[in-house]
């Protein structure tokens, strides 16, 4: 467990250090102000990945831009991939931040991979686990995008970082997700909802469950069909993601900015932005109505009591 959380804390520390160091740009211009006045946002997202949500006109999706530039595999790697025959290859990587993992988890995964008929390419820089099979090739770095684009690749075992998920969707490769932290849990939930992945808890899963999950996404044609459908949608666009990004950047430069596409929310006082003035008005109106009702009710009660007192006096 310790190496995974150590990596996580290191990333949080680096991100906070960058923010603390560069949060002020100049004397009176903060990072928040710079972000608020940004003319163009290039989002690594897409409606095939995210669920529908409102977006501003200056938010442009460029999901899949990194998956376009596919290079041929090295001669050694191509030979290993081709040696898989009809069974194909399973790619395994837990991102650039996690090169190794606790010995018990690594051995559990190695035992699961050893049972597969497929060849396995695993980005793993630690000591080879005792259960590592002859079908598994460990490497300190793997050409992830190039392997996902290869027709022999049958499944992708991943921590489900955004880049890996985007590349798998673009190339139509089913996923076995084992999220570790941050946005990865949300990423795997989205691809599971799309029908192209299954999710496992790496901290409690067994070797048998990993083997069954990989076998399932490979043998069940439904996962591949969904992945291919998503890939088709991502590719069927009037512009490639990179062409779209370049066009918008040049458009901003050509016109000296696009202030008409920015939200005016940043210019509102905080009490208007959070609708505090509207809330205050509503509370005042409701309070006035309740107070009036209470006064009317109190007056009615006093009248009733006075009437009852008069009746008793007359009776006496």
As a whole number, the mean pLDDT across the chain is: 83
| Burial of 221: CB neighbours in 10 Å, binned 0-12, 13-18, 19+ | exposed
Reported as a single tens digit per residue, the pLDDT across 224-281 is: 999 999 999 888 888 888 889 899 999 999 998 888 888 877 778 888 888 898 999 9
pLDDT value at position 1? 36
Reported as a single tens digit per residue, the pLDDT across 140-151 is: 889 999 999 999
Which fold, 69-235?
Rossmann fold (3.40.50)
State mean pLDDT over 32-57: 79
- Asked if residues 111 and 128 have their Cβ atoms less than 8 Å apart, the reply is no
Reported as a single tens digit per residue, the pLDDT across 205-230 is: 999 999 999 999 999 999 999 999 99
- Determine if the pTM surpasses 0.75: no
How many angstroms separate the CA atoms of 116 and 217, rounded? Answer: 13
Q: How confident is the model at residue 307 (pLDDT cuts 50, 70, 90)?
A: low
pLDDT value at position 203? 86
Cα torsion 102, 103, 105, 110: sign: positive
User: Which value, in Å, is the radius of gyration of the alpha carbons in the chain?
Assistant: 30
The residue ranges of every structural domain in the chain are: 1-35, 69-235, 270-302
Q: In percent, how much of the chain has pLDDT > 90?
A: 41
Is pLDDT of 177 > 80? Answer: yes
How many angstroms separate the CA atoms of 188 and 177, rounded? Answer: 6
- Residue 122 bridge partners (DSSP): 92, 138
State mean pLDDT over 58-68: 79
State mean pLDDT over 123-129: 86
């Amino acid at each position: 467990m310790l190496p995974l959380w150590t990596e996580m804390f290191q990333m949080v520390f680096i991100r906070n250090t960058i923010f603390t160091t560069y949060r002020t740009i100049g004397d009176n211009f903060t990072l928040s102000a710079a972000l608020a006045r940004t003319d163009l946002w290039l989002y690594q997202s897409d409606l095939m990945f995210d669920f529908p949500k409102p977006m501003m006109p200056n938010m442009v999706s460029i999901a899949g831009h990194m998956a376009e530039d596919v290079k041929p595999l090295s001669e050694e790697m191509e030979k290993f991939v081709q040696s898989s025959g009809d069974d194909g290859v399973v790619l395994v990587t837990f991102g650039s931040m996690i090169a190794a993992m606790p010995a018990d988890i690594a051995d559990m995964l190695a035992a699961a991979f050893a049972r597969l008929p497929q060849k396995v390419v695993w980005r793993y820089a630690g000591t080879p686990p005792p259960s590592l099979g002859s079908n598994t090739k460990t490497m300190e770095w793997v050409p992830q995008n190039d392997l996902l684009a290869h027709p022999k690749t049958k499944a992708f075992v991943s921590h489900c970082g955004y880049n890996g998920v985007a590349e798998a969707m673009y190339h139509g490769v089913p996923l076995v997700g084992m999220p570790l932290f941050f946005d990865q849990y949300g990423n795997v939930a989205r691809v599971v909802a799309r029908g192209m992945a299954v999710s496992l808890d790496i901290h409690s899963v067994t070797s048998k469950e990993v083997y069954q999950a990989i076998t399932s996404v490979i043998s069940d044609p439904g996962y591949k069909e969904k992945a291919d459908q998503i890939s088709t949608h991502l590719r069927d666009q009037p512009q490639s993601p990179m062409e779209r990004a370049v066009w918008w950047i040049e458009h901003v430069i050509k016109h000296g900015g696009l202030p008409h596409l920015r939200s005016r929310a940043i210019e509102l006082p905080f009490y208007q932005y959070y609708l505090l003035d509207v809330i205050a008005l509503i509370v005042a109106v409701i309070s006035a109505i309740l107070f009036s009702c209470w006064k009317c009710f109190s007056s009615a009660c006093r009248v009733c009591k006075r009437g009852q007192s008069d009746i008793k006096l007359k009776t006496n």
